[in-house]
């Protein structure tokens, strides 16, 4: 090997000589220092030991699977103090060979190659023994020992100058980072180092490596060299270049996925950036509570979120610049839909509630109640009546909740069992509709019906024994309620027979009959001629009332009766009423009323009235302008017909009314008002009528009107006993139907306003609704209300209305609203202790609640008869003549309002017996019949008058008496009354 090395040295020396370089001939080491003649030093060399090993190693002999074989043992080495010594070994073997050198048997750290060069030696190193172990997969072999001899000094070996054997390498760093340069050199120790930057010595940089301070951009392209020196000379390394990179931070995006996570969940943050290091935090730029070391494209989770939070991606470049971007995460608010059912009323028991939570992690709900218990969303209530609170609370956010109220109720009957009329042997079913019901029990005349425990009760074949009162008791866990009584009537019965009547020749006679049962009914009136025994059907007399033609004394003794046929085909015959026709004179009776009509502008319509009475009748027509309550006499209009002049049929005369007063020496009669609809004006040809239904039934009101223009409608309603009318929403057609009725609706009043958008709107007459059984009227020992000077009833059920004392005013009021469709009243009035002349009289009043009449209303004293001022219809019995009065005594019917008192009377009869006499007791029996607007009044069996009267559809009934400057005692007795629904 040494021969090969010597040969290489000679070859290299020959080449270097051509380059004008010199090699020291006495150099005995494997490396040397070359010196250029032109000055300065250049590094020449390579490590000759490696070259020799390469030349002599023999290469690989192939894989044998044997332990290594040392083909060249380490050899002894001699060196001077301060120099190094190199040992080497050559070995062969299969696979990879590993080496470990030992110094005096101790492994040398890091000495794991085939050569080992000692550090600079000291004299104490002399005699050290070096070995090496060579290992492969097949085993380990240890070399022969080689001894190191260190000479204290030598005059024959000169010191070696430094030689750089490993140059500093170029370095690239980011701004702010440090860079480290290092050099490896050989030479006689001690070696010293001095680093320079761009030719300038760096203070303190005197070791074999140099680390710069934190770099700045100005350090870019700086050149670093190191000079190694010893006693023999010096060597300067090649320059190493420092490249300083200044990166620009770019914060591209910070994606929030999702930006609106569910409440109390986390979001995922995904940064995208370049040009620096990055952190993510929630406290602004530079915050790092999410991550201290973000990686672009990675995902990072936030904590659980219950409020909006903004996160910042901060990217710091090498030069310290910072770029940032943000994203805001707003967790959805937890919301809960309204609870269903909401604000409900139920029977005690169980109830399922529902609500939907959204926006939360689980969207689960916890259900609670102020009483009772929940299993899931099913509430088991207590059995105590009351209102309870139901609460649904979010599991995700317990501060979010919704509530509703639930009321535990007794059963509530919404549909009462209706009274029914059934044919004999027909079936019928009674039914009740109830809310919050659990069980039912039907009763007949107060006794429970076995097995009748459902919401309906079936009667398969109705007979007389089934007639009676039926109720049903509805029960739940909180208690029970009982329905109204439903009356079952089998077949039909006559409730009011015709009443015998006396009239004066020249009058008409009116008879009526009423029935209840299996409606609708058909009627036929018969007359038995005086002295006869067989009735003859009267042609056309087929309604519940019959008004005869004008009669004379030849009809006296005739008897009248009616047959009533029900829907089952049953025929009932009323009792007969005897008619007495007396000779004499009588007040006017209007037979045919003037008719409302439509008239063209400028036309001359004719109005006609037909009246009877004796002696001779006179006529006076009146014009009542639209909107007025009283009329003005039309000059010259004094016959039974009146032709309206063209000057009174202008468009401004639309809805003017005309009426006529027919008079003779025994009284007067006021016609109905005939209205003229001028041009396109509106004419109501059929007014709404009262409606009678059972509870639970529907009720329909209708009007018929004409106009040249399209019509619109609006219905109004006032509550029972009320005077305030309100428009009914949606009731805008010619008819109005209330879908379901209850008993508390009875007495409600309705009217309709008809419009066409051009001419004056027209208001219909009022009509009332009656539900179930009609309210009756008791005798005078009943619940009559006493007002003013009226005294309580005596043992005979007679009531003193006024005493024979000046300034008296007494009144009795039936406290319940009554139907006026078919009412029959009979009573006796007795006057006594009268002054001379007597004063003032008494009255019967049907007060109109829709105009303000109440059970506390009372009229004026004196000539007001205790009735003036009560709105409604007044039947006056006057025995004192005040200015403007008809001759006394008289019976008259008119309006009670102060502005309309005696202005004028509708009917007046002055041909009557005295009502009171000074110093005498006077008593008369009266019968008042009102059937579908026709009022007939008899006094001691003789008809005083019969005529059409506009009575209120529902009314309070009053009897009153008063005195003024004169007096009389007035007592009412023998009162009886029937109130029925008018027959069809």
pLDDT score recorded for residue 16: 34
pLDDT score recorded for residue 932: 87
**DSSP state string for 18-37:** HTTEE--TT--SS----EET
Domain tally, the chain: 8
Last residue of a domain, one of 149, 182, 201: 149
**Maximum mean pLDDT: which of 413-422, 517-526, 640-649:** 640-649
Residue 741 lies in a domain: yes
Clarify whether residues 190 and 322 are in a common domain.
no
Q: For residues 552 and 508, what is the distance between their CA atoms, to the nearest angstrom? A: 9
Last residue of a domain, one of 229, 245, 261: 245
pLDDT score recorded for residue 2: 35
pTM of the model: 0.59
Question: Is the pLDDT at 474 greater than 70, yes or no?
Answer: yes
User: What mean pLDDT is predicted for residues 304-333?
Assistant: 92
Q: CA 326 → CA 255, 256, 279, distances in Å?
A: 8, 9, 12
Question: Is the pLDDT at 740 greater than 50, yes or no?
Answer: yes
Describe the crossing of helices 48-56 and 2-18 by its angle, rounded to 10 degrees: 130
pLDDT score recorded for residue 156: 46
pLDDT score recorded for residue 729: 97
Residue 321 lies in a domain: yes
Clarify whether residues 365 and 285 are in a common domain.
no
Q: CA 401 → CA 39, 263, 370, 392, distances in Å?
A: 96, 15, 14, 5
Residue 877 lies in a domain: yes
Q: For residues 973 and 977, what is the distance between their CA atoms, to the nearest angstrom? A: 12
Q: Which residues contact 565 (CB under 8 A, 6 or more apart)?
A: 521, 522, 523, 524, 571, 572
Clarify whether residues 765 and 689 are in a common domain.
yes
Clarify whether residues 747 and 706 are in a common domain.
yes
Residue 528 lies in a domain: yes
**Per-residue confidence at 489, pLDDT binned at 50, 70, 90?**
confident
Question: Is the pLDDT at 41 greater than 70, yes or no?
Answer: no
Residue 241 lies in a domain: yes
Question: Is the pLDDT at 491 greater than 60, yes or no?
Answer: yes
**Per-residue confidence at 49, pLDDT binned at 50, 70, 90?**
very low
pLDDT score recorded for residue 138: 87
Residue 93 lies in a domain: yes
Question: Is the pLDDT at 11 greater than 70, yes or no?
Answer: no
**Per-residue confidence at 500, pLDDT binned at 50, 70, 90?**
very high
Residue 323 lies in a domain: yes
Please indicate whether residue 517 or residue 579 has the higher confidence score (pLDDT): 579
Q: Which residues contact 15 (CB under 8 A, 6 or more apart)?
A: none
Q: Where are the beta strands (DSSP E) in 432-513?
A: 433-435, 439-444, 447-448, 456-459, 468-476, 479-482, 486-490, 493-496, 501-504, 510-512
Question: Is the pLDDT at 51 greater than 60, yes or no?
Answer: no
Question: Is the pLDDT at 155 greater than 80, yes or no?
Answer: no
Q: Which residues contact 214 (CB under 8 A, 6 or more apart)?
A: 176, 177, 178
Q: For residues 33 and 326, what is the distance between their CA atoms, to the nearest angstrom? A: 64
CB 727 within 8 A of CB 716: yes
Question: Is the pLDDT at 511 greater than 90, yes or no?
Answer: yes
Clarify whether residues 822 and 902 are in a common domain.
yes
Q: Which of 517, 520, 515 is closest to 567 using CA atoms?
A: 520
Clarify whether residues 212 and 314 are in a common domain.
no
Clarify whether residues 258 and 379 are in a common domain.
no
Going 587 to 900 to 608 to 931, the CA torsion angle's sign is: negative
Clarify whether residues 762 and 780 are in a common domain.
no
Clarify whether residues 359 and 302 are in a common domain.
no
pLDDT score recorded for residue 520: 87
Q: Is 576 helix (H, G, I), strand (E, B) or coil?
A: coil
Q: For residues 421 and 593, what is the distance between their CA atoms, to the nearest angstrom? A: 37
**Per-residue confidence at 29, pLDDT binned at 50, 70, 90?**
very low
Question: Residue 306 sits in a domain of what CATH number?
Answer: 2.60.40
Domain with 209 in it: 163-245
Q: Which of 814, 752, 748 is closest to 777 using CA atoms?
A: 814
Q: Which residues contact 296 (CB under 8 A, 6 or more apart)?
A: 271, 272, 273, 274, 278
pLDDT score recorded for residue 703: 98
282-314 pLDDT per residue, tens: 999 999 999 999 999 999 999 999 999 999 999
Clarify whether residues 884 and 974 are in a common domain.
yes
Cα torsion at 289, 295, 296, 299 (round to 10°)? -60
In terms of DSSP bridges, do strands 610-614 and 586-592 run parallel, antiparallel, or are they unpaired?
A: antiparallel
CB 474 within 8 A of CB 432: yes
CB 185 within 8 A of CB 225: no
User: What mean pLDDT is predicted for residues 582-586?
Assistant: 90
**Per-residue confidence at 581, pLDDT binned at 50, 70, 90?**
very high
Structure tokens at 390: 């139901």
* Tokens 């309206």 -> residue: 644
Question: Residue 892 sits in a domain of what CATH number?
Answer: 2.60.120.200
Q: For residues 823 and 977, what is the distance between their CA atoms, to the nearest angstrom? A: 7
531-570 pLDDT per residue, tens: 999 999 999 999 999 999 999 999 999 999 999 999 999 9
CB 316 within 8 A of CB 324: no
pLDDT score recorded for residue 469: 94
CB 832 within 8 A of CB 804: yes
CB 893 within 8 A of CB 876: yes
Going 913 to 916 to 920 to 924, the CA torsion angle's sign is: positive
pLDDT score recorded for residue 65: 64
pLDDT score recorded for residue 900: 93
Phi, psi of 328 (to 5 degrees): -110, 130
Last residue of a domain, one of 442, 466, 490: 490
Q: For residues 818 and 156, what is the distance between their CA atoms, to the nearest angstrom? A: 157
Q: What angle do CA 209, 211, 212 make, to 5 degrees?
A: 140
pLDDT score recorded for residue 370: 96
Clarify whether residues 810 and 690 are in a common domain.
no
Going 609 to 610 to 612 to 618, the CA torsion angle's sign is: positive
Question: Is the pLDDT at 45 greater than 50, yes or no?
Answer: no
Cα torsion at 443, 448, 451, 454 (round to 10°)? 40
CB 951 within 8 A of CB 910: no
Q: For residues 144 and 830, what is the distance between their CA atoms, to the nearest angstrom? A: 167
Question: Is the pLDDT at 692 greater than 70, yes or no?
Answer: yes
Question: Is the pLDDT at 833 greater than 50, yes or no?
Answer: yes
Question: Is the pLDDT at 88 greater than 60, yes or no?
Answer: yes
Clarify whether residues 820 and 840 are in a common domain.
yes
The average confidence (pLDDT) of the chain is 90
229-281 pLDDT per residue, tens: 999 999 999 999 999 988 888 999 999 988 999 999 999 999 999 988 999 99
Question: Residue 108 sits in a domain of what CATH number?
Answer: 2.60.40.10
Structure tokens at 496: 């009011």
User: What mean pLDDT is predicted for residues 878-906?
Assistant: 93
CB 83 within 8 A of CB 76: no
Question: Is the pLDDT at 1 greater than 70, yes or no?
Answer: no
Share of the chain above pLDDT 90, in %: 79
Q: For residues 141 and 9, what is the distance between their CA atoms, to the nearest angstrom? A: 32
pLDDT score recorded for residue 32: 34
Residue 262 lies in a domain: yes
CB 947 within 8 A of CB 907: yes
- Residue 942, exposed/middle/buried by CB under 10 A (0-12, 13-18, 19+)? buried
**Per-residue confidence at 153, pLDDT binned at 50, 70, 90?**
low
């Amino acid at each position: 090997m040494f021969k090969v090395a010597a040969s290489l040295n000679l070859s290299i020396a020959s080449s270097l000589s051509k380059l004008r370089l010199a090699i020291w001939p006495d150099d005995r080491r494997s490396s040397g220092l070359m010196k250029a003649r032109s000055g300065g030093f250049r590094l020449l060399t390579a490590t000759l030991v490696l070259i020799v090993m390469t030349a002599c190693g023999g290469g690989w002999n192939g894989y044998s699977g044997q332990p290594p074989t040392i083909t060249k043992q380490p050899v002894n080495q001699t060196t001077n103090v301060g120099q190094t010594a190199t040992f080497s070994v050559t070995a062969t073997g299969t696979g990879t060979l590993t080496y470990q050198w030992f110094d005096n048997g101790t492994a040398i750290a890091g000495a794991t190659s085939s050569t080992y060069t000692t550090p600079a030696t000291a004299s104490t190193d002399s005699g050290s023994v070096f070995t090496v172990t060579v290992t492969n997969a097949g085993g380990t072999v240890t070399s022969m020992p080689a001894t190191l001899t260190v000479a204290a000094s030598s005059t024959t070996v000169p010191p070696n100058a430094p030689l750089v054997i490993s140059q500093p390498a170029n370095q690239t760093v980011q701004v702010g980072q440090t860079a480290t340069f290092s050099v490896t050199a050989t030479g006689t120790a001690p070696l010293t180092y001095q680093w320079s930057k761009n030719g300038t010595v760096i203070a303190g940089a005197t070791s074999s490596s140099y680390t710069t301070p934190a770099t700045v951009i100005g350090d870019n392209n700086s050149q670093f060299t190191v000079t190694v020196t010893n006693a023999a000379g010096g060597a300067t390394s090649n320059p190493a270049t420092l490249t300083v990179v200044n990166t620009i931070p770019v914060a591209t995006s910070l994606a929030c996925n999702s930006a609106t996570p569910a409440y109390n969940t986390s979001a995922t943050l995904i940064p995208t950036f370049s040009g620096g290091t990055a952190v993510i935090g929630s406290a602004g730029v530079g915050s790092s509570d999410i991550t201290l070391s973000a990686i672009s494209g990675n995902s990072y989770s936030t904590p659980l979120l219950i409020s909006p939070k903004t996160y910042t991606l901060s990217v710091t470049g090498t030069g310290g610049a910072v770029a940032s971007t943000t994203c805001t995460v707003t967790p959805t608010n937890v919301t809960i839909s309204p609870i269903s059912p909401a604000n409900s009323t139920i029977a005690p028991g169980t109830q399922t509630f529902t609500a939907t939570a959204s926006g939360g992690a689980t969207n689960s709900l916890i259900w609670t109640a102020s009483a009772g218990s929940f299993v899931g969303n099913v509430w088991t209530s207590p059995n105590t009546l009351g209102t309870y609170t139901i609460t649904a609370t979010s599991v995700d956010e317990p501060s979010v909740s919704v509530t509703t109220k639930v009321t535990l109720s007794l059963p509530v009957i919404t549909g009462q069992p209706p009274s029914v009329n059934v044919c004999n042997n027909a079936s019928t079913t009674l039914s009740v509709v109830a809310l919050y019901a659990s069980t039912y029990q039907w009763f007949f005349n107060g006794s429970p019906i076995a097995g009748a425990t459902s919401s309906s009760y079936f009667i398969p074949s109705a007979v007389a024994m089934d007639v009676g009162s039926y109720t049903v008791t509805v029960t739940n866990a909180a208690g029970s309620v009982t329905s109204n009584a439903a009356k079952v009537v089998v077949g039909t019965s006559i409730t009011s027979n015709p009443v015998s009547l006396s009239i004066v020749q020249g009058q008409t006679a009116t008879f009526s009959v009423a029935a209840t049962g299996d409606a609708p009914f058909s009627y036929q009136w018969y007359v038995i001629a005086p002295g006869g025994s067989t009735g003859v059907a009267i042609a056309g007399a087929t309604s519940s009332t019959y008004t005869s033609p004008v009669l004379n004394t030849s009809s006296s003794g005739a008897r009248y009766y009616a047959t009533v046929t029900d829907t089952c085909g049953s025929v009932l015959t009323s009792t007969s009423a005897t008619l007495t026709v007396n000779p004499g004179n009588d007040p006017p009776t209007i037979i045919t009323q003037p008719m409302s009509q439509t008239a063209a502008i400028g036309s001359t319509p004719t109005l006609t009235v037909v009246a009877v009475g004796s002696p001779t009748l006179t006529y006076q027509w009146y014009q009542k302008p639209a909107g007025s309550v009283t009329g003005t006499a039309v000059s010259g209009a004094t016959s039974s017909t009146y032709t309206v002049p063209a000057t009174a049929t202008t468009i401004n005369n639309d809805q003017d009314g005309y009426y006529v007063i027919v008079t003779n020496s025994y009284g007067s009669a006021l016609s109905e008002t005939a209205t003229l609809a001028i041009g396109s004006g509106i004419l109501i040809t059929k007014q709404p009528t009262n409606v009678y239904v059972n509870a639970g039934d529907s009720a329909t009101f209708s009007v018929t009107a004409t106009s040249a223009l399209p019509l619109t409608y609006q219905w109004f309603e006032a509550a029972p006993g009320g005077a305030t009318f309100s428009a009914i929403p949606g009731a805008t057609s010619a008819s109005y139907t209330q879908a379901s009725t209850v008993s508390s609706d009875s007495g409600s009043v309705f009217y309709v306003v008809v419009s066409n958008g051009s001419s004056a709107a027209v208001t219909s007459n009022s009509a009332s609704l009656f539900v179930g059984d009609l309210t009756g009227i008791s005798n005078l020992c009943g619940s009559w209300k006493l007002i003013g000077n009226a005294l309580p009833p005596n043992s005979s059920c007679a009531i003193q209305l006024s005493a024979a004392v000046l300034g008296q005013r007494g009144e009795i009021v039936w406290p319940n609203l009554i139907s006026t469709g078919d009412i029959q009243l009979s009573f006796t009035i007795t006057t006594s202790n009268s002054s001379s002349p007597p004063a003032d009289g008494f009255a019967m009043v049907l007060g109109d609640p829709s105009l303000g009449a109440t059970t506390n209303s009372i009229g004026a004293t004196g000539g007001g008869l205790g009735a003036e001022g009560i709105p409604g219809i007044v039947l006056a019995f006057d025995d004192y003549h005040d200015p403007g009065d008809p001759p006394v005594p008289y019976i008259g019917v008119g309006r009670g309002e102060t502005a309309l008192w005696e202005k004028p009377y509708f009917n007046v009869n002055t041909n009557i017996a005295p009502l009171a006499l000074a110093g005498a007791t006077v008593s008369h029996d009266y019968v008042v019949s009102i059937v579908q607007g026709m009022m007939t009044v008899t006094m001691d069996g003789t008809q005083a008058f019969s005529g059409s009267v506009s009575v209120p559809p529902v009314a309070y009934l009053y009897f009153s008496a008063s005195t003024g400057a004169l007096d009389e005692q007035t007592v009412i007795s023998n009162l009886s009354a029937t109130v029925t629904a008018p027959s069809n």
